Amino acid sequence: MRFDLKISNSFLWITVALLIKGLFFWLQVYSSYKETQPLFGYFTHDSAEYYGSMENFYLNGIYSPDIRMPGLGVIFLLFRLFFEKNVVLNIILILQWLVSSVAIYTLSITASRIFKKENVFYFVFFIFILTHYIFLWDNFLLSESFCISFFIFAVYFLQRFLGTARKKYLFFSGLFFTWCVFTRPVFFIFYGTAAIFLVFYFIKEKRGFKTILINGIAFLLLFAVLDSAWIARNLAVKNKFKYLNDIDWYNALNPSSPDPALYFFLESWGGDLENERHWFEIDYKIDYRYRDTVIPSHIYTSQFNKDSLILVKQRIQYYKAHRGDSIVALINNSLMNYTASVKKEKPFLYYIGSGMIYMKRLIFSGYFTYNTFDDSFQKLPLIKKVFKLTRAILFYLLFFIGLIYSVKLLLSKKKNFLLVLLIVIAYSNLIYIAFFFRTPEFRYVLPSTVVFFCLTSFVFAKGWDKLKGRTTSPGQ
């Protein structure tokens, strides 16, 4: 029996993806099932916000709390009509594995078409399927797995449209971009960037206003319809105009909790919600992994110093034992005064330096926590330390080769339209997370990682051709 190894053999490659990814998936299930029973994967605080709201809607007809967009909730509800809650959550975990397996093949075939090199397919396919960085999240009931898969499908259909000019592909690209936005609102930036790039593309191709209008409708129609419904819902329920999610707990001080004020203070100088936040011991379950965290002295202003922060920390401990609005007000007033002083006395740190710190943490600090073993690096035996370091080095190698090569592509005279769009999306994701969202969790860097890994795959494919003495395609 002879296998057809052509990249067009989707059945073969998706089957390979399912088997190899299935091994990773079920190994994770095996290692975590006793902890998470009766679920195959991890249900976190964020999971409760994504799926708990739709469970409440199913039981009581009210989508609450509604700080998350309902994209994942709709998938949950489709199965919840027929199955018990935990069964549905396990179905979703299995779906994440299945969909991401299809997404790996889709990404590989799309990359080979963008770069116009068939062997790029193999590098993308095996890099993504063997490193397991991107699809680690299949075992988490969070937004990353579905959202990255939907993003890949959106790019696939956009590439198909550019190659065929058939509007149905533009519609499907818009459909998956829309579901990305309704899963993770940050993708609105990428969706909007793609729409702007398409306008420039049509102008460059000397398409008329009618063509631009018709294609624009195809690309944006589903989002316009669904978001209009979401806006109408928010007007009816909250009497507010909200076109995306409404995170009130983060946008304003909370008179019953010092958490938001602490967030604002940390953000003013680049403090991390996983490190410096725990220094204040604001959570009831203290994470002692961060007991050696030091608040840097260069952030001090005329309004606060180390003693001031220790006093706030002590007041937070008092608040935990004696909850009340008066102690919260005292803590909030202090923290907001410190935040204002950083903004006034250290404007570079407030506007630029903090973002640069988050960029560093986003790329360099975030990944290591999720790399293979949960125990602290110091406590691991030597073999596990070597394995953990090897995986980290490989990640940074794949990430930075792609990042560096993206600069070269942007500076080159001949540019591929879709490639430039994806690079801009990768950059805008990093900039938004570091300078605006300011929460340097590794999972937020995934859209950029997808782009940079594909660029690295192209570099490897070119290197492979040179080793074999072939004439390489410029891929432009």
pLDDT tens figures, 271-317 = 987 778 888 888 767 666 666 778 899 999 999 999 999 999 999 99
Please indicate, yes or no, whether residues 210 and 293 belong to a single structural domain of this protein: no
- Tell which of 108, 142, 176 closes a domain: 142
- Tell which of 244, 264, 291 closes a domain: 244
- Tell which of 98, 115, 142 closes a domain: 142
- At position 300, the amino acid (one-letter code) is Y
Please indicate, yes or no, whether residues 272 and 210 belong to a single structural domain of this protein: no
Residue ranges with strand state E in 234-348 = none
310 and 295 Cβ atoms separated by less than 8 Å = no
Question: pTM for this one?
Answer: 0.90
Please indicate, yes or no, whether residues 22 and 133 belong to a single structural domain of this protein: yes
- At position 444, the amino acid (one-letter code) is Y
In a domain, 16, yes or no: yes
Cα distance between residue 28 and residue 423, in whole Å: 32
Domain range enclosing 418: 362-476
Please indicate, yes or no, whether residues 57 and 95 belong to a single structural domain of this protein: yes
Please indicate, yes or no, whether residues 131 and 193 belong to a single structural domain of this protein: no
Q: How far is CA 292 from CA 17, 276, 444, in A?
A: 42, 10, 26
Secondary structure class of 42 (helix, strand, coil): strand
In a domain, 357, yes or no: no
Q: 254 pairs with which residues across the strands?
A: 257
- 81 is written with which tokens? 């009509």
In a domain, 353, yes or no: no
Q: Which residues have a Cβ under 8 Å from the Cβ of 26 and sit 6 or more positions away?
A: none
Please indicate, yes or no, whether residues 1 and 138 belong to a single structural domain of this protein: yes
In a domain, 354, yes or no: no
Helices (H), 133-186: 144-164, 167-181
Q: Please report, in tens digits, the pLDDT of each residue of the chain (476 residues total).
A: 455 678 888 899 999 999 998 888 887 777 766 667 788 888 888 888 889 889 999 999 888 888 889 999 999 999 999 999 999 999 999 999 999 999 999 999 999 999 999 999 999 999 998 887 777 788 889 999 999 999 999 999 999 999 998 999 999 999 999 999 999 999 999 999 999 999 999 998 888 888 889 999 999 999 999 999 999 998 988 888 888 875 554 556 677 888 889 999 999 999 987 778 888 888 767 666 666 778 899 999 999 999 999 999 999 999 988 888 889 999 999 999 999 999 999 999 999 999 999 999 888 865 555 555 555 666 777 887 787 788 888 889 999 999 999 999 999 888 899 999 999 999 999 999 999 988 878 888 999 999 999 999 999 999 988 887 755 444 44
Secondary structure class of 254 (helix, strand, coil): strand
Secondary structure class of 202 (helix, strand, coil): helix
For 475: left if phi > 0, alpha if psi spans -120 to 50, otherwise beta; the answer is left
For 83: left if phi > 0, alpha if psi spans -120 to 50, otherwise beta; the answer is beta
Please indicate, yes or no, whether residues 319 and 276 belong to a single structural domain of this protein: yes
Cα distance between residue 457 and residue 117, in whole Å: 11
Please indicate, yes or no, whether residues 441 and 304 belong to a single structural domain of this protein: no
Please indicate, yes or no, whether residues 132 and 10 belong to a single structural domain of this protein: yes
428 and 190 Cβ atoms separated by less than 8 Å = yes
Total of domains in the chain? 4
In a domain, 235, yes or no: yes
Please indicate, yes or no, whether residues 11 and 136 belong to a single structural domain of this protein: yes
Cα distance between residue 423 and residue 409, in whole Å: 9
- Please give the biggest Cα pair distance in the chain: 78
**DSSP character at residue 412:** S
Tell me which residue has tokens 């075939």: 109
CA angle 64, 68, 73 (to 5 degrees): 75
Cα distance between residue 432 and residue 184, in whole Å: 13
Please indicate, yes or no, whether residues 1 and 120 belong to a single structural domain of this protein: yes
In a domain, 352, yes or no: no
Angle at which helices 446-467 and 417-432 pack, to 10 degrees? 140
Please indicate, yes or no, whether residues 179 and 257 belong to a single structural domain of this protein: no
Secondary structure class of 257 (helix, strand, coil): strand
- 408 is written with which tokens? 């070269």
Secondary structure class of 468 (helix, strand, coil): coil
In a domain, 404, yes or no: yes
